[in-house]
Amino acid sequence: MALVTVTDPARDYLAQLIDKQDVEGMGVRMFVTQPGTKNAETCLAYCPPNEIVPTDEQLDLGKFTLYLDHSSVPFLEEAFVDYSKDQMGGQLTIKAPNAKVPNVSDDAPLPDRVNYILASEINPNLAAHGGEVSLVEIVDESVAVLRFGGGCQGCSAVSLTLKQGVETTLKERIPEITGVRDITDHTNTENAYYQ
């Protein structure tokens, strides 16, 4: 069963929206579009009784049932739904840290663990500069060969990012990693964040 947390304010807010639909047995379906990609988005939608999918996991939230799309379940681990009131009325927040790449166990293959750290911790930071990094391969059983793209390709600060950011994080999170190697062609500076 996926561990999805729906706070009481979020549950109450969603229950109010469901009540306005005036459909007996209406629930909410949670799913991830384009799961496992950098374009993944976590969504909530009304789920009337005639649209219930038998393979979906069901969470009884008291006031309604939350249906978790079966194929999205690995990407919904540790998802969090909250609602907070503000001056404009309120804000429903959905956080699904594993939507872009599902959480992997400590005994998963080394490339899977590296890809998870890149997707969940490193790339969100690089995205602020329009950059990204991807794993090409693991060589010598412990060296991650990486390729930078977007604002990182050709960036004058990429060596600092590689050593103090990417390599440090990978070594801390995955002790088997002994180093990283960048194979990016940095002569192309067209999209570089720093030139």
List, in order, residues 6 or more apart from 73 with CB less than 8 Å away: 2, 57
Q: Report the alpha-carbon angle 176-180-185, nearest 5.
A: 155
The whole-angstrom separation of Cα 105 and Cα 113 is 8
Other Cβ atoms closer than 10 A to 194:
14
Other Cβ atoms closer than 10 A to 139:
11
The whole-angstrom separation of Cα 143 and Cα 176 is 9
Partners of 47 in beta bridges:
27
**Is 152 a known ligand-binding residue?**
yes
The whole-angstrom separation of Cα 177 and Cα 136 is 14
**Is 47 a known ligand-binding residue?**
no
Which residues are known binding-site members?
Answer: 152, 155
Residues marked as binding for [4Fe-4S] cluster?
152, 155
